[in-house]
Amino acid sequence: AKFPGASPMLWDESRDGHRAIVSLYSETDPGQYFLFDTVDNKLEKLFDSRAAFWIAKPVASTAFTVRSPDGLDIQAFLTLPGSGAKPYPLVVMPHGGPIGVADNRAFNPGVQILASRGFAVLRVNYRGSSGGGKTFLQAGHGKWGREIEQDIEQALDHALANFPLDR
């Protein structure tokens, strides 16, 4: 409750289980490391990971879904800069793969660097991305150069129609 939206990760613990090194991170937090005293239930901050990103004021993404012509739900994340002149220039950043990889709301240094420089960033979990189930994953096999790019373009069209982006 002290860190809403953050995901914890246990790195190591003492042999007696009384102390642990834990980190907390989120889409807008590149990570903080703590010493957790399990006896006194206290956290002592050790350091920030990638502290330089705090200067850039990381921003959260907006998630949206578009439906492909053949009925698949395509998830996308749009990160708008925290400041700058609208409409924002846009960078479309497809993830690798194309099969079995996906974007998510974890901290992404590349996205945050671009957003801190005034760029909006669109990431699309096109067909074949992981996390959408077996049917969605298999729908991407052999579809690069065709349906995968159409999924990205459909998400792009939605973003251009609904957000302050420079065409």
CA separation for the pair 130, 156 (Å, rounded) = 20
For 131, how many CA atoms within 13 A lie in the half-sphere containing its CB? 13
Share of the chain above pLDDT 90, in %: 64
pLDDT of residue 144: 78
Q: Is the pLDDT of residue 49 over 90?
A: no
Reported as a pLDDT band with limits 50, 70 and 90, residue 84 is confident
**CA distance between the termini of the chain:** 41
How many helices (H) does the chain have, and how many strands (E)?
A: 4, 8
Task: Provide the whole-model pTM.
Answer: 0.82
CA separation for the pair 125, 66 (Å, rounded) = 11
pLDDT of residue 25: 84
